[in-house]
Structure 1
């Protein structure tokens, strides 16, 4: 059973699909990083999951149950497009209002618990309008935690925060996942922070989900490797596999050979030269995670902003 599953989920405004028939899955216990440029459809999809926007097509499943369009679920907490904080109320009163709205049996105790968890106990009676941006983000988390949700939707929670604030929010998200078992669906442009905590990624481009990847997939795509190009690629691969069966070898769609480990470039060149196989290029390839996701987000985007074909490696 998935924590979240969308099936051909779409949201259209006029003739434009803000979310274009997205099918995706989030497993229980995941910290799922949702990556895409501004306007790619991240917030729109999250609003539909939270019941704040009606889908045009498709449907949503939460923990195995199909959700009716526009239906909210007590199992989902969310911060979408900023925390919904009343600036003239104290932090405690903000959370108390949320607890009362949800019909909590002991709203004061619940409010104290979530405020302590996010580190706002000392300023709980201060006016929320006086909070720093980082404190408001933590208050937003406290609001989302009222009702003990099983799935947390966080839309750009690091926006505008200084490095210390980013670290604090990241630590809270990790603790929620590890200590309370909450599944987290988080969108962010801060890829180096996502890299430190997520278990899976989804990449959206022009409203379409173009890739879903595990951390292992990303590590493999972003690792350094030796690339060998030859007009006789299949023969070159067969020769290298015979000579070094312990090496990790593969072939890309463009015909180049990827050597992940076990075969130094000098030895590869010597083996192919001995076999009389021409080599048109041999080089060490490397890229960081930011470069990789920028490629995925940019591939196939035309000048009018519409999405093209799927990403390739």
Structure 2
């Protein structure tokens, strides 16, 4: 892990790295921020002499953040069993597209997240299929390149056991399809937007894979389907029905976790964020729709 001095500036500088680690481990900006804040609280609670003995405060903070995230992941199963409907990771906006509201400062965790393939919604959903220990080992090693000797300190296992956990997680991830970013993804999303706006059911069916699946997350706070909608035709009809019931909804093409997606806004307020995954033929195979306002806070602050 990176060396870091114990000065205040160096400690604050570690925050971006820690937010990035915690978000990929938890799939939640709010929980990532809480985990990082707790790690810093534990650091400053150490006696001064103990802090002076720590060779790399950044490594110490990463280890503690990883352990906190491991505990959160361990309790997540029970919490999500009580969650109303499907649980999806929190989407992250690209500030370069939105501009910046004067009320949003640099401490906003969404500003700290590096948007790359490891935060694409499709990838985060795959991470959700891993055990907590697999996810920690995989994220720290395969994404952030931490050695297994240091991951062992996080998991309380041997480096060899951590290596096996990462290999198991890698097998789970291998079957997932990387998002077709760039022109192909952007064009597919644009065509879906146009067909949705024109309420063109046939057009939408043509853009969707026949076996497409749409999963929505409202958290019980806003209306949405509680179970995944399966089949391109069913999804197309559902999307048009939603458009009929939501006049005045403005659809915007925006980056969602670094990949082209759609944002639905009404009266300037973001109501829905949609992510897409394409099949090999370029048709939409998966749609993830986040409507839970608690997961849209970074988008609500976007301009």
* Superposition TM-score, scaled by structure 2 size: 0.28
Between Structure 1 and Structure 2, the one with more strand by share is 1
- Higher helix residue share: 2
* Bigger Rg, structure 1 or 2: 1
